[in-house]
Structure 1
Amino acid sequence: MPLARRARRSVDIWPGFVDALATLVMVIVFLLMIFVLAQFFLGQALSGRQKALDDLGREMAALAERLNLQTRANAALEAELVSSRAEKDKLEAWAAGVNQDMASLLALKDEKEAELAAEKKISDEGRAQLALLSRQIEAMRDELARVTAALEASEARDREQKAQISDLGKRLNVALAGKVEELQKYRSEFFGRLRKVLGDHPGIRIEGDRFVFQSELLFQTGSAELGTEGVEQVRRLAATLKDIAKTMPQGVNWVLRIDGHTDKRPMVSGRYPSNWELSTARAITVLRTLAANGVPKDRLAAAGFGEFQPVDNGDNEAAYAKNRRIEIRFDQR
């Protein structure tokens, strides 16, 4: 039994080794064949790409040449454009000089005509330019003549209008002076008759063209309601004014203006926010009373000045009393 097992273990392995080696050789040969084929096809591809690269290089060279040609052409065009712009600027400057100076146009025309006579040769462009200059000169002369004629006509109209205005002003001044004189006459008559009616009351005085009532004569302190004496005084004023109005011609355009004034001490009552409101309310009260007693409403006007037009700038009771007043003005509208 041990001998039999030893015999089985001593098997010959050489044939298997030869088969494996042969298989390895075949694989190597196969790989070499694949490598050779790959080298062949890679060479073909690389040679094709090289050809494509050469073609592309030639196209790039052609494009570069075209680009150089285009660049030179652009440079030439830019130079021509700069030259054209310079020529345009020269022409514009020349045209401006032509439009601004008539004498330059005439001198240039004479120069062109002298050159034409001396050289006996001039281009069509020069002839057209000379003709254009001549037409421009004639047109400017015609325009100058029209402007001169219009200016002379305007000056003649101005002189005529000034004469009319001067004459109208003189007549207006004469008429105004007559109306003022006539109004002054009725104002004097009105003040004279009013003084007789009202008497020599210490609270009533005449100052220039104004008839002045002290506020205490008409109103209570801080009030815009007429007292009993105030109502009576305003009724007398209305009656006198109506009598005077009956004798006035229709052409005398008069108006009776009532101005309210206060002193500078601030208001303490809550009814009137300031002296402005109080002075205005008092003037309107007098106006309404006059209208209620028959004075035409279109002949009455009222204004309030508060403490801003004093007749006495003192800080005492006498000054305050003078400044608290109602002024009646007989005036022209």
Structure 2
Amino acid sequence: MAGTRMRRREGRTDYWPGFVDAMASLLLVIIFLLSIFVLAQFFLGQQLSGRDTVLNRLNAQISELTELLALERAGSRDLQDTIATLTANLTDAEAEQQRLQGLLDASSDRASQTGGALAGMESALEEERRLSQRALSQVELLNQQISALRRQIAALEDALEASEGRDRESQAKIADLGRRLNVALAQRVQELSRYRSDFFGRLREILSQRSDIRVVGDRFVFQSEVLFSSGAETINPAGEEELQKLADAIKELAVQIPAEINWVLRVDGHTDARPLSGTGRFRNNWELSAARAISVVRYLIDQGVDPKRLVAAGFGEYQPLEEGDSDEALARNRRIELKLTER
């Protein structure tokens, strides 16, 4: 029976020693963690205690400084009151001093008037002598300066007289040159007028058979219909024929006019006041008049006329020969004018 029981006990597994070991290990870990926690609490308490100490010290210093500041302000107010009192006392003392000084001066004046009148007169006389001597020295110096200034004025007057003489000579020369220039200009104008008359006379002979080409004042006038179609800037064949005659006359005239006369033939384009249609290539009459004047100049250059003797200008409808909107007035205002002038 006993042997059977022993065999059963030996056949079961014994867990108790392992459980005891695990519990011991767990207990050691818990104790270690508690130790760390206690140490951390200790150090944190030390830091907080140190900070509280510093904060208390700072608060105490602030309190001391506040008390010192209050004391300083009180002392400053006391000093200001003391300064005000001393200032008032000083003002009173200065007033008293001035009053006493006035009394002393009055007493001294009375004493000097009675006892030192003679000494004062002698002093005044000596002072007058010194002043007189100084004045004599200054008068002598002024006389010398006046003499030097007179010499300078005399020299300046001589220089001014010489300059005025040269100026009169220059004015005479300028007047003489002006008269000569006017005479030369008048001669130039007369010569140009003569050549203009010859030129227009020659044009009259060449173009006398046309009623739409005429002379107006100092200008030779082509009606636009002679040279251009309506609204166009291209010269038509009939116009080229007339301009060919004009080019021949200009070239013949250019040979006769002396080289010193700087002449040009100005070609002016004019239109009537009617607005252009919106379908053309020109935006307004001004552009059309300028384009027509340029076309005439280009044609004359192509025929051998010196470009330096030609000028093109466009005036649009702003230089009419006749006012009004009749067909006759509008036709007369559409024109090309030629004017022989000096540059």
**TM-score of the pair, normalised by structure 1:** 0.60
Aligned pair count?
235
Please, which of 208, 214, 230 is the counterpart of residue 239 of structure 2? 230
Structure 1 residue 249 corresponds to structure 2 residue 258: yes
Structure 1 residue 211 corresponds to structure 2 residue 228: no
After TM superposition, list the pairs within 5 Å mapping 1:140-155 onto structure 2. Answer: 141=150, 144-145=153-154, 148-155=157-164
Report the counterpart of residue 299 of structure 1 in structure 2.
309
- 5+ residue gaps in structure 2? 1-74, 96-127
Q: Is the alpha carbon distance of 1:61 and 1:291 closer, same or farther for their aligned partners in structure 2, counting shifts above 3 Å? A: closer
Deviations 1:189-227 (A, max 9, x none): 211222222232111001121100001111112221111
SS of residue in 2 equivalent to 1:165: helix
Please, which of 139, 162, 181 is the counterpart of residue 171 of structure 2? 162
Which 4+ residue blocks in structure 1 deviate beyond 6 angstroms? 69-72
Report the counterpart of residue 180 of structure 2 in structure 1.
171
Identical counterparts, % of pairs: 51
Q: Is the alpha carbon distance of 1:120 and 1:175 closer, same or farther for their aligned partners in structure 2, counting shifts above 3 Å? A: same
Q: Is the alpha carbon distance of 1:220 and 1:144 closer, same or farther for their aligned partners in structure 2, counting shifts above 3 Å? A: farther
Report the counterpart of residue 183 of structure 1 in structure 2.
192
Q: Using the TM superposition, give the Cα deviation of residue 63 of structure 1 relative to its aligned residue in structure 2, in angstroms.
A: 5.7
Deviations 1:113-157 (A, max 9, x none): xxxxxx754268756765675566556556654554454344323
SS of residue in 2 equivalent to 1:122: helix
SS of residue in 2 equivalent to 1:205: strand
Q: Which has the larger radius of gyration?
A: 2
- Once residues 283 and 70 of structure 1 are traced to their aligned partners in structure 2, the CA distance between those partners, rounded to angstroms, is 106
Amino acid at match of 2:337: E
SS of residue in 2 equivalent to 1:202: coil
Structure 1 residue 323 corresponds to structure 2 residue 343: no
- Once residues 194 and 166 of structure 2 are traced to their aligned partners in structure 1, the CA distance between those partners, rounded to angstroms, is 41
- Once residues 206 and 148 of structure 2 are traced to their aligned partners in structure 1, the CA distance between those partners, rounded to angstroms, is 82
Please, which of 268, 278, 281 is the counterpart of residue 277 of structure 2? 268
- Once residues 271 and 93 of structure 2 are traced to their aligned partners in structure 1, the CA distance between those partners, rounded to angstroms, is 96
Report the counterpart of residue 31 of structure 1 in structure 2.
none
Q: Is the alpha carbon distance of 1:152 and 1:265 closer, same or farther for their aligned partners in structure 2, counting shifts above 3 Å? A: farther
- 5+ residue gaps in structure 1? 1-51, 73-118
Amino acid at match of 1:299: R
- Once residues 300 and 94 of structure 2 are traced to their aligned partners in structure 1, the CA distance between those partners, rounded to angstroms, is 101
- Once residues 145 and 279 of structure 1 are traced to their aligned partners in structure 2, the CA distance between those partners, rounded to angstroms, is 71
Q: Is the alpha carbon distance of 1:182 and 1:61 closer, same or farther for their aligned partners in structure 2, counting shifts above 3 Å? A: closer
Structure 1 residue 311 corresponds to structure 2 residue 313: no
- Once residues 164 and 326 of structure 1 are traced to their aligned partners in structure 2, the CA distance between those partners, rounded to angstroms, is 46
Deviations 1:157-189 (A, max 9, x none): 332222111111121122222222222222122
- Once residues 257 and 181 of structure 2 are traced to their aligned partners in structure 1, the CA distance between those partners, rounded to angstroms, is 21
Report the counterpart of residue 32 of structure 1 in structure 2.
none
**TM-score of the pair, normalised by structure 2:** 0.59
- Once residues 303 and 295 of structure 1 are traced to their aligned partners in structure 2, the CA distance between those partners, rounded to angstroms, is 17
- Once residues 163 and 278 of structure 1 are traced to their aligned partners in structure 2, the CA distance between those partners, rounded to angstroms, is 53
Q: Using the TM superposition, give the Cα deviation of residue 314 of structure 1 relative to its aligned residue in structure 2, in angstroms.
A: 2.2
Deviations 1:73-104 (A, max 9, x none): xxxxxxxxxxxxxxxxxxxxxxxxxxxxxxxx
- Once residues 153 and 308 of structure 2 are traced to their aligned partners in structure 1, the CA distance between those partners, rounded to angstroms, is 58
